[in-house]
Amino acid sequence: MLSIRFHLLGLLAGLPLLCQCSATLVNRAWSAYDPLGTPPAETTARLDSESARLESRLLNHPDDQRSLASLADLRFLQNREREAVELYRKYLSSCRRPASPARRARFGTALLHLEQNGEARAVLEQVLREDPENARALLSYAEYQADIVGDSAYAMALLQRAKDTGEIFIPPDFEQALIHDLN
Q: Give the pLDDT band (50/70/90) at residue 49.
A: confident
Which alpha helices (H) appear in the chain, and where do they start and end? Answer: 22-32, 41-60, 65-77, 81-94, 101-113, 117-130, 135-144, 152-165, 172-182
Helix (H, G, I), strand (E, B) or coil at 147: helix
**Which one is predicted more confidently, 34 or 99?**
99
Amino acid 9 reads: L
Single pTM value for the model: 0.78
Question: Which residues, at least 6 apart from 42, have a Cβ–Cβ distance to it below 8 Å?
Answer: 12, 13
Whether the pLDDT of residue 60 is over 70: the answer is yes
Per-residue pLDDT of 136-145, as tens digits, reads: 999 999 999 9
Q: Give the pLDDT band (50/70/90) at residue 134.
A: very high
Q: Give the pLDDT band (50/70/90) at residue 12.
A: very low
Whether the pLDDT of residue 175 is over 90: the answer is no
Instruction: Give me the domains of the chain, ranges plus CATH numbers.
Output: 22-182 (1.25.40.10)
